[in-house]
A and B are shown apart, each in its own frame.
Chain A
């Protein structure tokens, strides 16, 4: 029975199955059909062809999809519902549905008159089902269109490879707003008669706890969770309950794959594909082979173009989006290994992001003159930034310090990118590490973050000033560049730096346009050490064009002097 079910004919057949489980309650086919009708009635009152759909509940999301399909409309699916994501789509669509501000939502009294026979006909497979929005290499969101027939043929290939165990409940740590989740968490279970758990498993503990009450389950997950599974739970109590584990978004480390498979006593299938092409291949890592190669899914073939790029041919791949951005090494038997990407798109914890897009989002900022975003692998994979400050940026650095600037730049990125991909490591450098060929290698950038960030200015706690007096309360961070190397075991702040700071702050705050002439008096009474709290007092005598400065702390005067300007 289930073999003949398709996305097109489901509504006309309406098999009796459990569609979803939400808050421990079972949702039947009949309830689903009614819910689709409610959404369809509601949406029919609004005109427009293209709609952004975001809903964290997969059951509601599926209901909205079917309502739109039977209204001959298109669901535009973003990966998240951040205001900036939605704003970027807003001029491409006619309206919003679901958990989006001003999105159309189902009210409790939206029952109206439900016409029961609306869905008897089969859907036309050539109809556009969804437009997925993903991160393009320029950073602008790129629409990937899927017809109902394309989605359906992908489900059919998956069914050939992994015949579904009907009735097994789908637990997922991934959202259905991306293609992998849409296919594996939502559409495949729906067609295969597998109930979908509406709650997302945010923690691996959630998988364990939800699975307790189930007879059989399938886990749809990704390396983010599988590599961080809590081993201390009594996973063996779930013995034999798990039918299959799927993982996609990025390759798994072999040990992580083997551990998860062992904990759940279930085969773990890694999926390789892209939003553009759909599923391409799979692998299952084994304990006795160093490297497990990827194998193509049934119905998938490769073509190689003269530039050695790989073109994917399958019934569910649009020929216009068929060239892979990944580099593959293909063996004569058709199996292959992955060798990185040929563009500037990276995956951070499974989330695709364009490094160019991050650079573009920052390079316009007046603080920045040159910028590179790159990936570093530490405890986790993260984006790091190397940047050369503009003149304005240098002034900002001395006024407010590094942390404030990083926080500001991060906030600017957070409006456009998911938190996971926003850079966590920043290096302010004087020049980019160009090599003799005029290129910046990834290695030279990664070397920058091996060392802790060095600082050029004190950490400002408070600044007070009027036209002739400036009072700076600050501490001397231990990461100050100048503590390094003066005396190996007794780091102190060099006197020349104290004069330099006094002069720079005076020029900045009193708008002194004349050039430095000479030092008149200078006295160093006590050394300044890391972490010391210091008050820098600077007084400007405009008539004499002289600046008096002093560095003091609780123990008294450290230094004082007079700087003369031309």
Chain B
């Protein structure tokens, strides 16, 4: 499980081209958006695309649900664990 979380952190840093952030510094429970890591709606689109490409995950029609999955690294890891197709 921790390996998956680290993998996701690396994916976030790489696909968003983030600077001044190391994967070890991202807390698994820290919010990814606004406060915490400070990501924005464009980043959310990029993460969605990366999840599809890397793990074959299709986002649900429910934006509220997607928002919950994108809350922090742990929530993303749960999403990937339960819904990955590749």
Could you say which residues of chain A place their CB within 8 Å of the CB of B42?
Answer: 224, 228, 349, 380, 420
- The answer to whether the Cβ of A424 comes within 8 Å of any Cβ in the partner chain is yes
Q: Are A203 and B45 in contact (CB under 8 A)?
A: yes
- The answer to whether the Cβ of B66 comes within 8 Å of any Cβ in the partner chain is yes
The smallest beta-carbon distance between B27 and chain A, in angstroms, is 14
Could you say which residues of chain B place their CB within 8 Å of the CB of A422?
Answer: 38
- The answer to whether the Cβ of A232 comes within 8 Å of any Cβ in the partner chain is yes
Q: Are B20 and A453 in contact (CB under 8 A)?
A: yes
What are 10 A-B contacts defined by CB distance under 8 Å? Answer: A203-B63, A209-B61, A228-B45, A228-B46, A380-B42, A402-B20, A414-B38, A418-B40, A419-B40, A453-B19
Could you say which residues of chain B place their CB within 8 Å of the CB of A232?
Answer: 52-53, 58
Q: Mark A406-441, 1 if CB is under 8 A from B, else 0.
A: 100010001000111010111000000000000000
**For B16, B46, B61, which residue has the most chain A Cβ atoms within 10 angstroms?**
B61
Number of A-B residue pairs at CB separation under 8 A = 74
Which 10 A/B pairs are nearest by Cβ-Cβ distance?
A: A209-B61, A419-B40, A205-B59, A379-B17, A228-B45, A420-B40, A202-B63, A349-B42, A203-B48, A378-B17
Q: Chain B residue with minimal CB distance to A406?
A: B20
Could you say which residues of chain A place their CB within 8 Å of the CB of B40?
Answer: 418-420
Q: Chain B residue with minimal CB distance to A205?
A: B59
- The answer to whether the Cβ of B18 comes within 8 Å of any Cβ in the partner chain is yes
Q: Mark A187-219, 1 if CB is under 8 A from B, else 0.
A: 000000000000110111110011000000000
- The answer to whether the Cβ of B26 comes within 8 Å of any Cβ in the partner chain is no
Q: Are A199 and B63 in contact (CB under 8 A)?
A: yes
- The answer to whether the Cβ of B41 comes within 8 Å of any Cβ in the partner chain is yes
Could you say which residues of chain B place their CB within 8 Å of the CB of A210?
Answer: 61
Q: Are A224 and B19 in contact (CB under 8 A)?
A: no
Could you say which residues of chain A place their CB within 8 Å of the CB of B18?
Answer: 424
- The answer to whether the Cβ of A403 comes within 8 Å of any Cβ in the partner chain is yes
A339 and B53 CA atoms in complex are apart in Å by 35
- The answer to whether the Cβ of A233 comes within 8 Å of any Cβ in the partner chain is yes
- The answer to whether the Cβ of B75 comes within 8 Å of any Cβ in the partner chain is no
Could you say which residues of chain A place their CB within 8 Å of the CB of B71?
Answer: none
- The answer to whether the Cβ of A225 comes within 8 Å of any Cβ in the partner chain is yes
Could you say which residues of chain A place their CB within 8 Å of the CB of B16?
Answer: 379
- The answer to whether the Cβ of B79 comes within 8 Å of any Cβ in the partner chain is no
A209 and B17 CA atoms in complex are apart in Å by 29
A232 and B20 CA atoms in complex are apart in Å by 32
Considering only residues 2-39 of chain B, those with a C-beta below 8 Å from chain A are: 15-20, 34, 38-39
A residues sitting closer than 8 Å to B (CB atoms) are: 199-200, 202-206, 209-210, 224-225, 228, 230, 232-233, 349, 378-380, 402-403, 406, 410, 414, 418-420, 422, 424-426, 452-453
Q: Are B45 and A204 in contact (CB under 8 A)?
A: yes
Q: Are A205 and B48 in contact (CB under 8 A)?
A: yes
Beyond the given A224-B45, A349-B42, A419-B38, could you list 17 further A-B residue pairs with CB under 8 A, ordered by the A residue number? A203-B59, A203-B66, A204-B45, A204-B48, A205-B48, A205-B59, A205-B61, A205-B66, A206-B61, A206-B63, A224-B41, A230-B48, A379-B15, A379-B17, A414-B34, A414-B38, A453-B19
Total residues of chain B contacting the partner, CB 8 A: 25
Could you say which residues of chain A place their CB within 8 Å of the CB of B59?
Answer: 203, 205, 230
Q: Are A203 and B20 in contact (CB under 8 A)?
A: no
A202 and B48 CA atoms in complex are apart in Å by 11
A414 and B38 CA atoms in complex are apart in Å by 9
The smallest beta-carbon distance between B30 and chain A, in angstroms, is 13
Q: Are B58 and A205 in contact (CB under 8 A)?
A: yes
**For B16, B39, B44, B45, which residue has the most chain A Cβ atoms within 10 angstroms?**
B45
Could you say which residues of chain A place their CB within 8 Å of the CB of B15?
Answer: 379
A422 and B49 CA atoms in complex are apart in Å by 23
Q: Per a CB cutoff under 8 Å, which of A209, A230, A402 touches B52?
A: A230
Could you say which residues of chain A place their CB within 8 Å of the CB of B44?
Answer: 202-203
Q: Chain A residue with minimal CB distance to B18?
A: A424
The smallest beta-carbon distance between B19 and chain A, in angstroms, is 5
Q: Per a CB cutoff under 8 Å, which of A202, A379, A425 touches B41?
A: A202
The smallest beta-carbon distance between B71 and chain A, in angstroms, is 15
Q: Chain A residue with minimal CB distance to B25?
A: A403
The smallest beta-carbon distance between B39 and chain A, in angstroms, is 8
The smallest beta-carbon distance between A349 and chain B, in angstroms, is 5
Could you say which residues of chain B place their CB within 8 Å of the CB of A225?
Answer: 45
Q: Are B19 and A425 in contact (CB under 8 A)?
A: yes
The smallest beta-carbon distance between B18 and chain A, in angstroms, is 7
The smallest beta-carbon distance between A25 and chain B, in angstroms, is 16
Q: Chain A residue with minimal CB distance to B66?
A: A203
Q: Are B63 and A426 in contact (CB under 8 A)?
A: no
A380 and B66 CA atoms in complex are apart in Å by 22
Q: Are A202 and B46 in contact (CB under 8 A)?
A: no
The smallest beta-carbon distance between A540 and chain B, in angstroms, is 32
A556 and B83 CA atoms in complex are apart in Å by 49
A203 and B45 CA atoms in complex are apart in Å by 6
The smallest beta-carbon distance between B17 and chain A, in angstroms, is 4
**A378-B17, A380-B17, A420-B40 known; A230+B49 contact, CB < 8 A:** yes
A420 and B46 CA atoms in complex are apart in Å by 13
Could you say which residues of chain A place their CB within 8 Å of the CB of B60?
Answer: 205, 209
Could you say which residues of chain B place their CB within 8 Å of the CB of A378?
Answer: 17
The smallest beta-carbon distance between B45 and chain A, in angstroms, is 5
Q: Are B49 and A228 in contact (CB under 8 A)?
A: yes
Q: Chain A residue with minimal CB distance to B53?
A: A232
A378 and B53 CA atoms in complex are apart in Å by 20
The smallest beta-carbon distance between A99 and chain B, in angstroms, is 16
Q: Chain A residue with minimal CB distance to B46?
A: A228
A431 and B79 CA atoms in complex are apart in Å by 47
A186 and B42 CA atoms in complex are apart in Å by 23
Q: Per a CB cutoff under 8 Å, which of A233, A420, A425 touches B58?
A: A233
**A203-B59, A425-B19, A426-B20 known; A420+B41 contact, CB < 8 A:** yes
Could you say which residues of chain B place their CB within 8 Å of the CB of A206?
Answer: 61, 63
A123 and B45 CA atoms in complex are apart in Å by 41
